[in-house]
Amino acid sequence: MEPVVVGRDSFQVEPFSVRLGSSGLESGDEKTPGSAASSASSAPPPPKTRHGVKFWGIIAALCLLSFISALDVAIITTALPTITSQIGGETQYVWIANSFVLASSVLQPLFGQLADIVGRRIPLIVSTVLFAVGSGIAGGATNVGMLIAGRTIQGVGAGGLYVLLDIICCDLVPLRERGKYLGIMFSWAGLAAAIGPALGGALAEKDWRWIFYLNIPICGVALGTILVFMQVKSGMRGSYKWRQLDYLGNLIFIPSITSLLFGLFMGGVTHPWASWRIVVPIVLGVVGWAAFHVQQHLAAHPSVPSRLFANRTSAAAYFLTFLSSATVQMVGYFMPIYFQAVQATSVLDSGTYYLPFAVGTLAFAVVSGVLLSQTGAYRPLHAAAFALAAVGFGLFTLLTDRSPKVVWAWSELIASMGAGAILSVLLPAIMAALPESDVAAASAAYCFVRTFGYIWGVTIASMVFNDQVNRRLGTVSDAALREVLRDGGAYAFASQAHVIKGRLLEESPRLWEEIVAMYTASLHTIWWVGLGISILGFFCVGLERGLDLRKELDTDYGMEEPKA
């Protein structure tokens, strides 16, 4: 689970994916050998397999790593003001948070290729060590530069973990069973996302350095488990394997995405969106990204092969990944704003009130993964998820400051059904139309698309929110307060609304009502955007074909068999 941070605040995310399979390529609308598009839902469930101690040891390590990588993003959200006040860097707070996101995003395709070249074990160990080392540097930081450096190293490690968790899960179980184990890992990441803000606030009050130091012993346990239990095949052999690395592609991709994300992170925060300092990096990033895809089409060993998007099922599933990630982040970022500004709760209480969505998401991720393993039908699950998400966003548009707990809690729970049900069943759909050899590349692309969806979900919603607030400032009668709320100031004000409410109700009750009305209307616009995206996703499910999910595991990177 990856949390992402854009603009003035931070928000949470998740990391997993899986894929694997044996046969059944799809091209356009044509049926192909081994991939019947007819009766995925009527196929009998796969035979139950007994897994040994080594298997469960690896799964335990993956769950620990998914927990800690998700916790690190979620835990800093409430602690960032305390950290910057003690170590300095109030003007660099954007990069304290976003250096992690940037570093974890741009290297994901590279990690996918390295997993094929040197096997899964070594990159996983290196990623875990980098994450622990970065945590130590951040925890021991004496200045903001050292803190950002530590967060960047953490991000590199986390980027590798996000990709490798999915790939290794693919190597352990057949495609038909993958959703079930993805759901298990998602539940650990979801738990981290749920407890992260409250834990971060509590640790910040005692000693913020333990927000980072906490990662080190957990990484140590996971690393020890990997060394003991993860005995897997390494795939290709020989020195020639390094010729398979897409050197040129990575040289184009990494700076292009860095430039694009730089513009997205800084736009509307340090410079207006129309500033050349924002427009130029975004344009350069988009042009570079387009050049990367042209190069991938011509490269002998591309890191993101064009064939991943050459069939309608995989292409549609990648698009659904982007849409679902964007909507999850809209809720994760702006539902706490609703609680803080409209319901006038504290930051910590808003985290508690957010639990129905966070816990519901992880629970329904497990449920949908089990259903996929039993039925083999991913299209109905995709359609149901986006339909439930649309209902959830529709209910959000009805929320006001007078909405009782039971109303907003059930609204969150219904929205979480849609958000959770889609998590563990997208990558299996992507892999249903692709061959076994594309496990690493498809998983890395899936991770990047998911992360990019998180970033755009917050970016788009933030732009909408800021625009709506600026448009409605005329309804606020106090001129000084209008300036405080203008151009993104509404975020910081929301965290203090519970303190300001009491004073305003005594001095000017009408002014408080004006503020609440402005926030409510601005948030409603975001919920309508989320509703539209969910409806779009629902209809895009129709582009997928119902392919059989393979029940056999055929991989060059699976667990080593005991020698006779």
* Stated pTM of the model: 0.84
- Poorest-pLDDT segment among 20-34, 82-96, 536-550: 20-34
Query: Residues 168, 267: one domain?
Result: no
Q: Whose CA is closest to 8, among 465, 530, 474? A: 465
Q: Does residue 278 lie within any of the structural domains? A: yes
Domain hosting 538: range is 306-434+444-545
Look at residue 435 in the predicted model and tell me its pLDDT.
84
Between CA 423 and CA 433, with CA 429 as vertex, the angle to 5 degrees is 160
Q: Does residue 491 lie within any of the structural domains? A: yes
Q: Whose CA is closest to 185, among 65, 74, 52, 71? A: 65
Confidence band for 48, pLDDT divided at 50, 70 and 90: low
Query: Residues 128, 272: one domain?
Result: no
DSSP H or E stretch at residue 10: strand 9-11
Q: On the CB side of 424, how many CA atoms lie within 13 Å of its CA?
A: 34
Q: Does residue 296 lie within any of the structural domains? A: no
Q: What are the tens digits of pLDDT across the range 117-176?
A: 888 889 999 999 999 999 999 999 888 889 999 999 999 999 999 999 989 888 888 888
Q: What are the tens digits of pLDDT across the range 383-442?
A: 999 999 999 999 999 999 999 999 999 999 999 999 989 988 999 999 988 887 888 899
Position with higher pLDDT, 206 vs 47 = 206
Specify the pairing of strand 4-6 against strand 9-11.
antiparallel
Q: Does residue 550 lie within any of the structural domains? A: no
Query: Residues 131, 200: one domain?
Result: yes
User: 555 near 20, Cβ under 8 Å?
Assistant: yes
Q: Does residue 43 lie within any of the structural domains? A: no
Looking up residue 144, the CATH number of its domain turns out to be 1.20.1250.20
Q: What are the tens digits of pLDDT across the range 258-305?
A: 999 998 888 877 788 888 999 999 999 999 999 999 999 988 889 999
Is the model's pLDDT at 90 over the cut of 80? Answer: no
Q: Does residue 163 lie within any of the structural domains? A: yes
Query: Residues 224, 266: one domain?
Result: no
Residue 169 tokens, joined:
């899960």
Query: Residues 172, 114: one domain?
Result: yes
Query: Residues 372, 270: one domain?
Result: no
Q: Which SS3 state, helix, strand or coil, does residue 173 take?
A: coil
Is the model's pLDDT at 464 over the cut of 60? Answer: yes
Look at residue 407 in the predicted model and tell me its pLDDT.
95
Q: What are the tens digits of pLDDT across the range 314-323?
A: 999 999 999 9
Q: Does residue 276 lie within any of the structural domains? A: yes
Measured from the Cβ of residue 91, the count of other Cβ atoms closer than 10 Å reads: 10
Query: Residues 149, 84: one domain?
Result: yes
Instruction: Return the DSSP state at 5.
Output: E
Query: Residues 187, 314: one domain?
Result: no
Query: Residues 377, 282: one domain?
Result: no
How many domains, in total, are found in the chain? 3
Confidence band for 28, pLDDT divided at 50, 70 and 90: very low
User: 176 near 183, Cβ under 8 Å?
Assistant: no
Between CA 213 and CA 221, with CA 216 as vertex, the angle to 5 degrees is 145
**Mean pLDDT in residue range 45-51:** 58
Query: Residues 284, 375: one domain?
Result: no
What's the Rg (C-alpha) of the chain? Answer: 23
Query: Residues 108, 210: one domain?
Result: yes
Query: Residues 378, 268: one domain?
Result: no
User: 520 near 400, Cβ under 8 Å?
Assistant: yes
Q: Does residue 380 lie within any of the structural domains? A: yes
Q: Whose CA is closest to 71, among 197, 163, 213, 217? A: 197
Confidence band for 5, pLDDT divided at 50, 70 and 90: very low
